[in-house]
Amino acid sequence: ATPTALMVGTGRGAQLGILIKGPEVLESTRRVDTVVLDKTGTVTTGRMELVDVLLAPGQDRAEVLRLAGALEHSSEHPIAQAVARAASAAGKLPEVEDFGNVEGLGVQGIVDGHAVLVGRTRLLEEWSQHLPSELAHAKEHAEAEGSTAVAVGWDGVARAVLVVADTVKPTSVQAIRELRELGLRPVLLTGDNEAVASKVAGEVGIDEVIAEVLPAGKVDAIKKLQDEGRVVAMIGDGVNDAAALAQADLGLSMGTGTDVAIEASDLTLVRGDLRAAVDAIRLSRSTLRTIK
């Protein structure tokens, strides 16, 4: 491949809203046969809305929102932003001490003297906070409907489930159809639960889903595909995607995503539109055809 042709390809990429780290990136783009997509913020808008607050017996909705909202105010996760937004609208939020992010599981911190947890059921269970069975059922029901639900607990007691919903980007459906037309195999990879993952996958036409993975699991999932002989592109936006982006043969980040993901990637889709990934693959193929 002549450097000049690759440079021209890189310049054309910029016009298409694709930032390419170096001319050589176009060469790896061409060899890709599998495209792994992060769900939240990549296939979906990542802008969730709080749609329901499910309470354990004897719990107060306003107090749940106030404490969970205060904690989530310190997190950048899309779920956190939905919760914090809804809680702020309901009233002033208290300060948080000792805020901590538990990777892939949720958040913890001290709010108004209470040790509060918000996140996956697993996080609460690690602190022996178990959802009462009716609440666990209501949570499963919400998830089966395709919503995302996170648990809230404090002072040793599971108190509520917050239901949030995210929407697929209108451009994702077309992009994934076109990836298939180019002969690529799309795979949805997410830390979210199976039901939500399957619902989103169904909406965009992906039939291979890897769900409920921790951030370290995302790297392992990429490695596993590579061990099967696949050449893997990974598209992601979050801090939790960075290691997987680096592991992939080609890492693509959303320009709307976190700096960490952008730095770990080879190529950035400036507008956060998945159709630009299709353009990048077409561009690499045509650039390299020109060279031959």
Q: Which two tokens stand for residue 256?
A: 């709307």
Residue type, 205: G
Does position 238 interact with Mg ion (CB under 5 A)? The reply is yes
Q: Which of 13, 69, 106, 251 binds ligand ADP (CB under 6 A)?
A: 106
The neighbouring-strand residues paired with 118 are: 107, 152
Contact 161, 54 (CB under 8 A): yes
- Alpha-carbon distance of 93 to 75, in angstroms, equals 14
Nearest residue to ligand ADP, scored by beta-carbon proximity: 191
Burial string for 118-132 (b: 16+ CB within 10 Å, else e) reads: bbbbebbeeeebebe
DSSP 8-state assignment for residue 20:
E
Q: Known catalytic residue: 38?
A: yes
Q: Which two tokens stand for residue 177?
A: 């159809």
Size of the site for ligand ADP (CB under 6 A): 22
Q: Based on CB atoms, which residue is closest to Mg ion, 95 or 208?
A: 208
Q: Which of 23, 38, 117, 142 binds Mg ion (CB under 5 A)?
A: 38
CA-CA-CA-CA torsion for 76, 168, 19, 264, nearest 10 degrees?
Answer: 40
Minimum gap (Å) between residue 60 Cβ and ligand ADP: 20
Q: Which of 120, 139, 159, 169 binds ligand ADP (CB under 6 A)?
A: 120
Query: Which option in Mg ion, ligand ADP, none does residue 191 bind, with CB closer than 5 to 8 A by kind?
Result: ligand ADP
Does position 238 interact with ligand ADP (CB under 6 A)? The reply is yes
Does position 279 interact with Mg ion (CB under 5 A)? The reply is no
Contact 248, 236 (CB under 8 A): no
Does position 265 interact with Mg ion (CB under 5 A)? The reply is no
Does position 258 interact with ligand ADP (CB under 6 A)? The reply is no
Q: Based on CB atoms, which residue is closest to Mg ion, 9 or 41?
A: 41
Active site residues: 38
Q: Which residues bind Mg ion (CB under 5 A)?
A: 38, 40-41, 237-238
